[in-house]
Structure 1
């Protein structure tokens, strides 16, 4: 698309005049009567939002604030950026906006080219004052999009921690989203395409970890395409919860959402994710409210280990054809269920192989073994059967969420670089290049040929990148926000001084 001369001139003008607004609590000198400079900051984020134009940045100093509405769009290459320093907490809903009381902490309504980064967004279980943590919505015809939600900690919100609707070109990355009381950790809804969900840690939400629903009943074509779900960690989702509804009545959420749900999602990829101890299915491809089934998707190099009360590792139904699954670990701690469930009307074009699987499948409602599955479908001929008892031999410390590969793991070099028309990823969840050995490893993590203590990113050097990764996860605990299993060098469930000392004692070590 060509940029018009007028648009180009406006872009240059905004870029030349881009401003930075500062916000600080009243105790630190903030006042909305101030000009919003570093020396004389505003007191509320809303005052800064009302002042910001394309290319402007709002910097928020540590403190606890009421939420805010983003009132003005940026432009291509000139986003409006809201950047919070560590210690910024949003704990109350923004004011009603556009005639509606959204009851959300951070509200983006019919705007584009916005960056939201660095906030802690905390809610309650009372939907009367806490609906969404971060809300990004627009009418169908608005064409809103190009929103980045990055490095936020959204938790304990009433409905969902991050919610979007009819907004395209989303980037949701590096966030920690947990303990949504009623529904999902991250919910992308309505007919809007081209999303990236990358590097998030999503856990203990009442419903799904990530729910992507094209919502044909709400208008549009009811299809979402080109979604990349990459290098996320999902655990403990789908167990249900309790909340107070908008009438003030206590309610129970039934839970049951998969770690990753696709309803009416097509031509998308789920790659290099770790999904463990979730209480429904791992990845579900289906059609309930989608305009079309969830077809032509690729599920590759994921590690999926389900909880003992879970359903299936991969669940495909409702005519969701032409999907592929390869290089995945699909182990179910619920021995009554297993690796893959697929309905008869979803079998056309389905391909699956080079996985590590539980020896139980569901083919059109009939529970069968891997041998029967191979005979009846021709799939998973090279896949490896393994049970939950094999987890300690496959992974470093599965009991504490450590799913990097153990030495001599069956997953090492057992994958493929190409499966029909689908290519395996060229790096793993931590960014380590694939393959390291004679072949691609199965699962979310690649095992380095040269294993060095302290080489968190697996690049063959213990260097500042590893030190920064450990410091970024410092004081975190297994199951908590920011926990990085690879940084827990002694695998005791805590990233602490013992791990830091271990890394420093091996600093500058390098593979030959």
Structure 2
């Protein structure tokens, strides 16, 4: 099956034809003395993975692969990898690049139905490492609770690529019994070390990450430009959401962070490729509740960071610790009024009818705003990950 098809016949052009180039790039055609830009039409390809499959299969719906790694070896721009419910071993790396017009999508066909677990004698400290650009990782469960020897997982989903979307996954019980080391780890990490930029972490559940009293292992860790939106993050040994290294221009919007060492850290330092600071980061519409510390700035931060319309309450050490001269606005200092909350057990993070978070949010500048469950927030925007 051809991966990409340029459909040119729809253009009624009267002069020189445009050559068919086997690449995802626009080409120009001249009609009546003026040039017109022809945008290629992408025909998506599909691959399939199933616990009943075999990696010697062709990866079709009738003859699926057995592993995500095998599918990742043959994807091309515009491919969707459909992963059926079941258990799959992790510790793999995906490197293929999509493009702006033709992203590579790895998706669980049922939300949290495809479950990634540690293999026997793991050779990797990360469940899923992605280095490709223009990639989506959607709907998986990453469960590190059943260690089976080898390297212990310090990371759930790690991304070093650019323009990557990590959406609607559940990542939990990562690095619970490792020594507390300064090398750190995270449930989801978006890293700038490989010069990745502008990825997003949206609609994920990240919980039970890191050993007790270890500030080096975090829920969501960002070290470049990124968007962190509508995630539910709880029981994290370090920060629920932590920005460091080359982090800048980060949007942190509509998340719920509870039961962790620190709710949100906006920081910069120990740079990879820039000289800092972390500036023009926006922190808005987040619930930061029942952590040891609330929202904190650390290291080298700029004067254009903004903190608006957050609910920050009952963080035992301090609700706010911003850099000198910085302030927050529209803050609600009251209990969030979740439908149900148990710090050590199961919670329902939806706001109740009388929650002070209802209708008190502001729309982000990018205009895109779906909640944790995928609902469009509409005109009335609630603070926190879940719209009531």
TM score, norm. by length of structure 2:
0.71
Matched, 1:180 2:209: yes
2:328 paired residue number: 325
1:2-401 counterparts in 2 under 5 A? 10-11=23-24, 16=42, 18-26=44-52, 30-67=53-90, 68-86=92-110, 87-92=113-118, 102-109=124-131, 111-124=132-145, 128-137=151-160, 144-158=161-175, 159-166=185-192, 167-182=196-211, 183-189=217-223, 192-193=224-225, 195-214=226-245, 223-238=246-261, 258-264=262-268, 265-279=278-292, 281-287=293-299, 292-307=300-315, 310-317=316-323, 319=324, 321=325, 323-330=326-333, 395=337
2:383 paired residue number: 444
Give the 3-state SS of the residue equivalent to 2:238 in structure 1.
coil
Structure number with the higher helix fraction is: 1
Alpha-carbon displacement from aligned partner over 1:119-138 (angstroms, at most 9, x marks no partner)? 0001149692312110112x
Inter-partner Cα distance in structure 1 for 2:48 and 2:263: 38
Distance apart, 1:313 and its partner CA:
1.1
1:471 paired residue number: none
Structure 1 residues 416, 41: closer, same or farther in 2, change over 3 A?
closer
Q: Cα RMSD between the aligned structures? A: 3.6
Q: Does the aligned pair in 2 maintain the 1:148–1:170 contact within 8 Å?
A: yes
Distance apart, 1:329 and its partner CA:
1.3
Structure 1 residues 22, 274: closer, same or farther in 2, change over 3 A?
same
Give the 3-state SS of the residue equivalent to 2:198 in structure 1.
strand
Q: Does the aligned pair in 2 maintain the 1:231–1:428 contact within 8 Å?
A: no
1:354 paired residue number: none
Alpha-carbon displacement from aligned partner over 1:450-486 (angstroms, at most 9, x marks no partner)? xxxxxxxxxxxxxxxxxxxxxxxxxxxxxxxxx9584
Distance apart, 1:45 and its partner CA:
0.9
Q: Does the aligned pair in 1 maintain the 2:124–2:151 contact within 8 Å?
A: no
Distance apart, 1:18 and its partner CA:
3.6
Inter-partner Cα distance in structure 2 for 1:210 and 1:416: 19
Structure number with the higher strand fraction is: 2
Distance apart, 1:427 and its partner CA:
8.3
2:37 paired residue number: none
Structure 1 residues 94, 176: closer, same or farther in 2, change over 3 A?
farther
Q: Does the aligned pair in 1 maintain the 2:106–2:138 contact within 8 Å?
A: yes
Give the 3-state SS of the residue equivalent to 2:199 in structure 1.
strand
Using CA pairs below 8 Å that are at least 6 residues apart, which structure has the higher relative contact order? 2
Inter-partner Cα distance in structure 2 for 1:427 and 1:57: 24
Inter-partner Cα distance in structure 1 for 2:361 and 2:254: 19
Q: Runs of 5+ in structure 2 lacking a partner?
A: 1-17, 27-39, 176-184, 212-216, 269-277, 343-348
